[in-house]
Structure 1
């Protein structure tokens, strides 16, 4: 069954007038817009193509892969504005429409916006900035520690609100984020906890705390050796500087240097750390 607005794997059924046609099932034969790449491929070969309804209300296919498909959230650039709305660069020759009715706030040409791609009432693919109409608060079928794909949606008082697997909202707490994050950024993460209300708490690393302290201790020793036995960092240093150097929180750093000090492997000075 063909899924409009998504990648499909279809069989070649014929070549006519330098045009390749694919088996579209209930949609009949579908013309491959960029047939050059299929030249010489025999009938029966299968191609992975993106299928959608074009501006002429025809079902067409392309071998090009867009930056996002129907049902996905993406950070896309506004390339033009018109009486119909805004148009976004989504990686295909014809830009993607962001209708006025699906916009939130001021949309400015040249800037990016976070959108969810959907099929309108005519099955044409379009974009929406109204993520709450599509992204659910309550999540199901996840387990604590499960790997997920995240897209940062906004900065909040708690930390960062993120879209999980293009379907659910989740929260990254600022006390557990030790790297710069920005709106639209896509990154891997994990389910830290599923709350009783089925909402998701997220985390960017799954390493157990003790393991992280141990690996940080070794990293401190390695960097000390690389830098002549001294680093100008202490447990009172700026958390961002600590993260930039070791990739960990200030709490993990303090635990690591405390352990190394007790083992007499480092000397703690007023303005830095020195190898013992």
Structure 2
């Protein structure tokens, strides 16, 4: 008994009839078009053809002989090839039509959306109307790709792709397959979903996962943060309304560094007598 055809299927269909613009394929119940641009070779009537089913740009169920990188039952890392703020982002699944990852599956914060060239771990899914969409891989799927980190990795550098966000930070899968967590306080600057980032290992957990940072080591960071404070004061008349007693959230919002990092940098500048503090302000000593 013939069954209904769905987008996302890889199936064999019979050539029902041939037209100048392609082939109509059938399962005995429904017909779909295999356009000549989607056919890999010539076919004769009644020939069985293996195809992937998808919706064309007009929403019609169509066929292609080109097999996708991912299916409804698999996932892979896919490149972002388009961003539409009202819809979401499009990823290349290996066929002529790019697949939409809905904005509903993306972070609410638009600054964390992927950009063209970023990479997302995705599969495919059907919505309630049987429309085909890209589907972000969940943690259990990402875990399948992972491997435990060894204890000697502290302060080693590596690279990985951001695959999800939580309230406290970003999760990353590194090139070696390590599951890494990048806390918000350890971000030198905000990162995007799908962004490939360079990180430094700060801690190896007992379960083989790692904590990472995009910030330099404390000594290097202190120099960098001290320069950041001096540059700020130079751009604001030689002073700033911040001291080592300022509110941590205010410091974070203005300089994107923690209160502890601010105090280390300020301590360096005070010790070197480059600045002085008075009445809630820090001044450059000329």
User: Which category describes the TM-score, using the shorter chain as reference length?
Assistant: 0.5 to 0.7
Q: Which has the larger radius of gyration?
A: 2
1:30-179 equivalence runs, <5 A: 54-55=52-53, 56-59=63-66, 71-72=76-77, 89-90=90-91, 94-96=97-99, 110-113=103-106, 116-118=121-123, 127-136=134-143, 139-140=147-148, 143-144=153-154, 145-151=156-162, 153-156=164-167, 159-165=168-174, 169-177=179-187, 179=189
Unaligned 5+ segments in structure 1 are 1-30, 34-52, 62-68, 82-86, 99-108
Runs of 5+ unmatched residues, structure 2: 1-35, 39-50, 54-62, 69-73, 108-119, 126-131
Task: Report the Cα offset of residue 239 of structure 1.
Answer: 3.2
Cα distance between partner residues in 1 of 2:281 and 2:236? 12
TM-score normalized by the length of structure 2? 0.53
Deviation at 1:72, TM superposition (A): 1.3
The alignment yields a C-alpha RMSD, in angstroms, of: 4.4
Question: Which residue number corresponds to residue 251 of structure 2?
Answer: 242
Secondary structure in structure 2 of the residue aligned to 1:151? strand
Per-residue deviation, residues 27-64 of structure 1 (Å, max 9, x unmatched): xxxx986xxxxxxxxxxxxxxxxxxx643251279xxx
- Equivalent residues, number: 198
Q: How many Å apart are 1:204 and its aligned residue?
A: 1.8
Distance 2:245 2:99 in 1: 50
Query: Do structure 1's residue 231 and structure 2's residue 240 form an aligned pair?
Result: yes
Q: TM-score, normalised by structure 1?
A: 0.54
Distance 1:242 1:141 in 2: 34
SS at match of 2:273: coil
Please state whether the residue corresponding to 2:206 is helix, strand or coil: coil
**TM-aligned CA deviation for residue 163 of structure 1:** 3.0
Which residue among 183, 196, 201 is the counterpart of 2:206?
196
